[in-house]
Structures are given as structure tokens and as C-alpha cells.
Amino acid sequence: MANQEDFFKKVVAHAKEYGFIFPSSEIYDGLAAVYDYGQLGTELKNNIKQYWWRSMVQYHENIVGIDSAIFMHPKIWKASGHVDAFNDPLIDNRDSKKRYRADVLIENHIAKIEDKIEKECAKAQKRFGDAFDRQQFVSTNARVLEHQQQIDSIRARYAECMNDNDLAGLKQMILDLGIVCPISGTRNWTDVRQFNLMFATKMGSVEGENDTLYLRPETAQGIFVNFLNVQKSGRMKVPFGIAQVGKAFRNEIVARQFIFRMREFEQMEMQFFVRPGTELEWFRYWKEERLKWHLSLGIDASNYRYHDHEKLAHYANAATDIEFLFPFGFKELEGIHSRTNFDLSRHSEFSGKKLQYFDSELNESYTPYVIETSIGVDRTFLAIFSHALKEQTLDDGSSRTLLSLPPVLAPYKAAILPLVKKDGLPEKAREIMDLLKYDYMLQYDEKDAIGRRYRRQDAIGTPFCITVDNDTLQDNNVTVRHRDTMQQERVAIDQLHTYLNQQLKPLR
Ligand code: GAP
């Protein structure tokens, strides 16, 4: 755990040091859970969005993309259920004046008991060595069983409180479990209150005269309210999808873990409209398709897992998360939800406009059912970035920091490096820059010894270093060095386009 924490600190420090991510408003001491993307972070983030957009919109004839406004009519959030139900239960400690999510306090308490189970397992593993059978141990060891029973009973009581919206019951649980504030160490808790996560603002110059507007907490509603516009103007036939990438805002009470949980973030969402009755088939299709997208980035499958929801939102008839092994454990990266016809029906009801589709094959009108795929851009960034960051010891005993980003997402595709700063090599290197810069993001670097320049590119994830040496002037060949293997090969300058295209082809 300590190692994981140290590693996570390295991720945050590396992101800042190399211009990927900065704390927002840093010279004013920052703004909690808000971050700015720097010069390299912006490139990586744009490449992630483009990779998603291509796979969803360009590769699917029946999916189109839109860009709806962040401000929307306030009734939309009433219809979607966000005004009444997009809440977190919060509790304050009177001594530290710190605010917590009641459910997170309880989850953390459960995590501590789970840690105890892990410790018992580690001890037994040491004792029994290769003969250790974890499954058998956790199902028979008295201490582990006692801990597991505690966890089960806490979870059951917690689920009951949440289902009944029993806020007093939640507070009583926190008291009964002896949970203390991590800052003050006391149990001097206020009552639990529901806290709506939407940021509210006012439109117009005179406050109070106009309706409250909300910064959208998801991009999905912009798609639902444009369903008819897109279907009619694009002559779309069910099944079809509408995709969108854009900012979303949530006033998270516990915003932490860097860009994992932010107050301003970006989502890539797609709503797929289908015939009623076919939705579970399509749900399975998108569940598989989305995992394939993640795997196409070349990250090992053991880093991903599905988490099927047992308890479903009232409007959903199936839901799953794709979880990723972040430096702090498996956590949600993407959600895939079968949302029935809930959203379109509610918007029909609240707007008075019929949001239906006439299916000419069936000769009938219906409200389509919807499968949603919803993934955070920032969370994807964190997953890819933290997985790519490595400290490597090389054969000669030296070490290097390597950011082995999928080449298709790397901020710079190649660095152009004259071996020395004389003998006409910089001029030749500049010629190569001019040849390639219209097709690839490149970096030119002539400062320091070549080894140090390679290290700089390794640390920012550049997949190829193209070195110009004295032979280049004679034979028009350059040395291409591969970031991950450090292997080098000679390539003719007039073949560089074909070579790079081949290496950087988006995976399918
Ligand atoms: N339209 C469905 C929806 O918004 P969600 O599970 O609340 O579902 C979808 O969010 C995805 O958005 C999550 O899987 C996560 O990747 C990302 N996300 C949600 N809240 C976030 C936050 N506070 N910071 C960063 N990413 C967030």
C-alpha cells in the first residue's frame, strides 16, 4: 500500500514536471480538485478524444456526433431526475469543520476490515508457502470469517439505509461503528444531509429574476433532447447512436485522487437508440465492444475487469462498469447502461413534445430504448498515463524513466535529433522536420549529449527518435530508435512517411 502511494505520488509529480497536468490556479495556492492540462497533457488528451471519436463515429456508419451547449433549460434536470436525486449524503465533523461523504466514511471503514483479512492471508501465505490455498483459507479461518461477517452486516445495514433514504440511520451507523474524523480524531458529527452535486448559476444580469441554471453534470442529456433533431435531419434509422465529447461538472464532496474525481471534467458518451425488446442484446454488444476498444490500446487485459451492477437504478434494466487497475486499486473507468426508454419518455412528458420514432419496417411508432456508453476522458488519461510510467534498470546498471504510452496517443510521435550541433547536421535535421511536420507532432532537440536527449524523450513517451549523423549526409539514411526496446535501425529519409504510418496505425 505504501509502495502504491509512493508510486501514485510519482505519477502526480511526473505529470507536473513534464508539462502534462498542473494544479489549477497554482500561483493562488490552487483550487481543490480542479486541474489544468499543460502543453503535453493537452496533446495526449486530444489524442484520447480523437481515438474514441474515430472508433465510435468514423468507424460506425450509424453513429453521428454532436456538440451541445453546457447551459440547458432548467426543466431538463427536473425531467432527468438530477434535481431531486443527484445527491450524496454528507456529514460534517464539528471539531475539524471538515465535510465527508457518509457513504465514503462507511466504505473506508469496510476497507480497513478488508485490510485485516489481507494481513491474515499474507501471514498464512508466509507460513504455508506454495501449499497456501487462499480460497480454502478465507472460507475456514475463524478470524477471517469473523471479519467477513462484520463486513456483510455493515453492507446490509448500509444498503437498507440508502434504499430507505434513512439519513438518521446512516448517522447512527457512523456512531455505532466508532468512526472518527481522520483530522480531529473525534466523533463529534453533525446530522447527515443530502447534498445535490449540481453547480447552480443564474442567467441574465439581475440575480433572482431568472430561473436557476445548472452546469451539466453529464453530457448525456444534451443528446436526449436533440434526439428528434438528429434523427430527422440525419435521416437516421433505428438502431443508431449519437456521440458527444464535452465538459461536465459535479460538486464532488470528496474530490481526490488527482484527476480520478474532479469537479470539472470531460466525458465521452454515446447513446444508442434501439427497438424495444432488443436492448439487452445491444447491451451485451456494447459491453464487449467497449472492452475491445480499451484492449486495442495494447494494455494487458489483466488490468481491466467488468463489474456488473446487482442493484440497478430504477430506470435501468442492466448496467456494468469497466474497471481499471489504477495505482489505488480497481476502480470504475467506464459505465455501460441499458437505460430503457426512461430519458426519452421523461423528456416527452416534461416538454410536451412526442419523442418517438416511426419504424417503417414494423409500421409502428415507439419510444426507442437506449444503451449508453459513458467514459471519462480524464480517468482514461490517468489510467493510460499511470500504467505507462516505469522506472527501468538497464543492462549497464543505469536507470531510466520510461513513459510507454500507446504510440497512437503519444504527444510527440518522433523527435528529430542531429547527433552534433555542427557539420551541417542541424540543417539536415531541419529538412526532415519540414518533410514530416505537416503529418506528425514532432520535437526538434539539439541540446546535450544524444543519450540525455533519448532519456528526455523516453520520459515524455515519444515512441521514435530520429537521429541525423554524418553518414546521413552521404546516404540519406537516418537512425530510428524505438522507445521501449531501445533498438535502432537505419531507415531511408524518403521512406520515413511510410515507416511512421506503419508504426502509428491506429489499432482496431
Ligand atoms: N451519463 C452517465 C454518467 O454520467 P457516471 O457513471 O456518473 O455516468 C460516467 O459517469 C463516467 O464519467 C465515469 O465512468 C467516469 O469515467 C467519469 N466521471 C464521473 N464523475 C467523474 C468525476 N467527478 N471526475 C472525473 N471523471 C468522472
Give me the pLDDT at residue 183, please.
Answer: 94
- Residue at 361 is within a domain: yes
- Residue at 87 is within a domain: no
CA distance 123 to 141: 12
- Residue at 81 is within a domain: no
* 455 & 496 share domain: yes
What Rg value do the Cα atoms of the chain yield, rounded?
27
* 233 & 358 share domain: yes
Please, what is the average pLDDT of the chain? 94
CA distance 90 to 302: 35
pLDDT mean over 346-356: 97
Closest residue by Cα to residue 296 from 403, 406, 460: 406
Pocket around ligand 1: residues whose beta carbon is below 6 Å from it? Answer: 218, 220, 250, 252, 261-262, 265, 267, 269, 332-335, 372, 374-376, 378-379
Rounded to two decimals, the pTM is: 0.90
pLDDT mean over 144-171: 92
Residue 443: Cβ within 10 Å count: 19
User: Which of 258, 379, 384 for mutating ligand 1's site (highest number of atoms within 8 Å of CB)?
Assistant: 379
* 315 & 433 share domain: no
Residue nearest to atom 12 of ligand 1 (CA): 376
Give me the pLDDT at residue 507, please.
Answer: 62
* 230 & 350 share domain: yes
Give me the pLDDT at residue 163, please.
Answer: 79
Residue 321: Cβ within 10 Å count: 19
CB-based contacts of 341, cutoff 8 Å, min separation 6: 276, 367, 368, 369, 370
User: Which of 86, 101, 198, 265 for mutating ligand 1's site (highest number of atoms within 8 Å of CB)?
Assistant: 265
Name which of 33-47, 207-221, 292-306 the model is least confident about.
207-221
Give me the pLDDT at residue 208, please.
Answer: 58
pLDDT at 207 over 80: no
pLDDT mean over 48-68: 97
Residue type, 472: T
* 324 & 270 share domain: yes
Give me the pLDDT at residue 123, please.
Answer: 93
| Count: domains in the chain | 3
Band (pLDDT 50/70/90 cuts) for residue 312 is confident
pLDDT tens string 218-271:
999 999 999 999 999 999 999 999 999 999 999 998 767 999 999 999 999 999
Band (pLDDT 50/70/90 cuts) for residue 508 is low
Band (pLDDT 50/70/90 cuts) for residue 210 is low
pLDDT tens string 118-140:
999 999 999 999 899 988 999 99
Cβ–Cβ < 8 Å for 305, 323: yes
pLDDT mean over 272-282: 98
Closest residue by Cα to residue 292 from 330, 336, 252, 331: 336
Residue 154: Cβ within 10 Å count: 18
User: Residue 242 sits in which domain range?
Assistant: 1-70+219-250+260-395
